[in-house]
Amino acid sequence: MLHTVLRRREGGESVGQIQPDLIIPTGKGEGQNPSVAGIDRALAEHAKREAYPEAVEQAQADFASLTGGESPNPAQKPRPLRRSCASSTAVDRRCGPSSCATTLSCNSRSGSSSAWQR
């Protein structure tokens, strides 16, 4: 789609004239026309990549080194431990076998000041 916009812009057409002829091929807006603002954002991003190719290469190299060359999988992120049920800062105050889903067990019924044990 970007190629079409660039080619037609070189021919002298405005984004407003090009927009009705474009169709989003996949995704949430599939089959719809992109907005003029969306086309402008794509053109601005393309211009930035063209103006600073070394910055794009460096960003890609940095990302690859941080992720080990693979894209991160959010499903494999370690889950944070829940805080004590007795704590006033706890977001989730429920305690029970279904809500204590970490490797910690909840002892809030024992009345101890520290409700979480290993």
- pLDDT above 70 as % of the chain: 58
Dihedral (C-alpha) 15, 16, 20, 22: value to the nearest 10 degrees? 10
Is it the case that residue 100 has pLDDT exceeding 50? Answer: no
Q: Residue 25 above 50 pLDDT?
A: yes
Q: For residue 117, report the phi and psi dihedrals to the nearest 5 degrees.
A: -130, 160
pLDDT confidence band for 7 (50 / 70 / 90):
very high
Q: What is the mean pLDDT of the chain?
A: 75
Per DSSP, the chain holds a count of helices (H) and strands (E) of: 4, 2
Q: For residue 19, is pLDDT > 80?
A: yes
Q: In the chain, what are the domain boundaries?
A: 2-71, 80-118
Q: Model pTM greater than 0.75?
A: no
pLDDT tens, residue by residue, 58-92: 999 999 999 886 655 555 555 566 555 554 444 44
Angle at which helices 53-67 and 36-51 cross, to 10°: 90
